[in-house]
Amino acid sequence: MTFQIKQEIASCGGKLMKLSHPSKKTGTEMEVNVYLPKQYFHKQDQSIPVLYYLSGLTCSPQNASEKAFWQPQADKYGFALVFPDTSPRGEGVPDDPEESWDFGISASFYVDATQEPYKKNYQMFSYIHDELPRELSQFFENKGNSKLDFVENVAITGHSMGGFGALSAFLKLYPERKYKSCSAFAPITFPSKVQWGQKAFGGYLGQEEEKWKPYDPGHLLKMTTNIGSDKILIHQGTGDPFYKNQLKPELLLEASKGTSWDGKINLNLVEGFDHSYYFVSTFVPEHAEFHAKNLGLI
C-alpha cells in the first residue's frame, strides 16, 4: 500500500504534498497533506520531528493547509506537518441520518466506532495514531536528503473537533508518551457533557456513557497521571459562537482540579476572537513555539 502524490506545491521555504492512500483501517482512500519544511531539503544530522494537526467539523486537509499559516512556523523551527482528513469518505461510507454537519462525513470525532453502520469505516483513532504514521514513515524512507520522524518525536494539535481529537489522543496515549506535547484551538473539551459530543459518542460508541470515558478528555485527566511538567496549551476566543454551549473549556479546568493535571492546563481566553481560521492563524505562532520546545528544537 502506498501513497499517490496528487500535487506538490511550493509553499514558504518548503513544499506541501497532497497525498492519498488506501487505508486498511477505514477501508477507504484517505487524503492527507504533508508539509515538508525548508530544513528537509538540506541534509540534516537530526531527523525532522512532526506536528499532527487535526481539523474541525466540515473540514478536509485543505482548510488548515491553506489558512492556518503553519508553514512559516514549520520553517522557523524545523518541524514537518501532517494534516489528516476528518473522516473516511466515498461511496458506501455511512453519513448522518439527519444530514447534519456535526456527525458522519467530516465529523468522525477521531474515535474507533463500535456501532453499526459506522464501525466498518469510522476507525479514525487507529488510522491516525497507528496506521498513518507507519505508512508515512515507509513512504518517506530513503526519499530526500533528510529523515522525517512520523512516529517518535511527534506532537499533536487541532481545532474544535480536532482540538478534542488532540486532547483525547494525547491523554489516552500518555502512558506510552506517544505525543511529546499537545495544544488545542477552541477544542470541544468535555464531549460527554455537550450536544455535539453526546450525538457523536452515542452514534459511534453507543448510548452507554461508560464507553465514552476512554475518549473523553474530562475523564481521561482522572485516568492518566501527569508524570512531570507536561502542560497543555489552549486558546479560546470569547467571541466564538460555540464557546459557551459546545466547547466549554472551563469544564476541563474544573475536571482537572485535584488531579495530576491541576494547574497544567494553560487556558488562554482571548477577547473577541471567533471560531474561524482568523482566530486559529493568530495563535499558531504561539503554539508552534510551544511544540518546538517540546520537540527539542529550541
Ligand X SMILES: N[C@@H](CCC(=O)N[C@@H](CS)C(=O)NCC(=O)O)C(=O)O
**Which residues are near ligand X by CB under 6 A?**
56-59, 63, 101, 159-161, 275-277
Measure the CA–CA gap between 160 and 68, rounded to whole angstroms: 13
Active site residue 159: no
By C-beta, is 184 or 205 nearer to ligand X?
Answer: 184
Measure the CA–CA gap between 181 and 229, rounded to whole angstroms: 11
Measured CA distances, 152 to 40, 114, 177, 189, 194 (Å): 17, 28, 9, 26, 33
- Cell representation of residue 173: 496515549
By C-beta, is 32 or 64 nearer to ligand X?
Answer: 64
Which residue in the list 159, 219, 235, 275 is annotated as catalytic?
275
Least separation in angstroms between CB 116 and ligand X: 26
Strand order in the sheet with 148-158: 4-11, 14-22, 29-36, 80-84, 48-54, 148-158, 182-185, 232-237, 265-270
Q: Are 227 and 261 in contact (CB under 8 A)?
A: no
SS (H, E, C) 59-73: CCHHHHHHHCCCHHH
Least separation in angstroms between CB 58 and ligand X: 5
By C-beta, is 57 or 113 nearer to ligand X?
Answer: 57
Least separation in angstroms between CB 295 and ligand X: 25
By C-beta, is 63 or 224 nearer to ligand X?
Answer: 63
Active site residue 235: no
The 8-class DSSP code of residue 192 comes to: G
Active site residue 275: yes
Angle at 32 between CA 55 and CA 59, to 5 degrees: 30
By C-beta, is 49 or 61 nearer to ligand X?
Answer: 61
Which residue in the list 85, 235, 240, 287 is annotated as catalytic?
240
Which residue in the list 160, 168, 181, 256 is annotated as catalytic?
160
Least separation in angstroms between CB 165 and ligand X: 11
Least separation in angstroms between CB 238 and ligand X: 16
Measured CA distances, 292 to 37, 70, 212, 283, 295 (Å): 13, 12, 32, 14, 5
Catalytic positions, written as ranges: 160, 240, 275
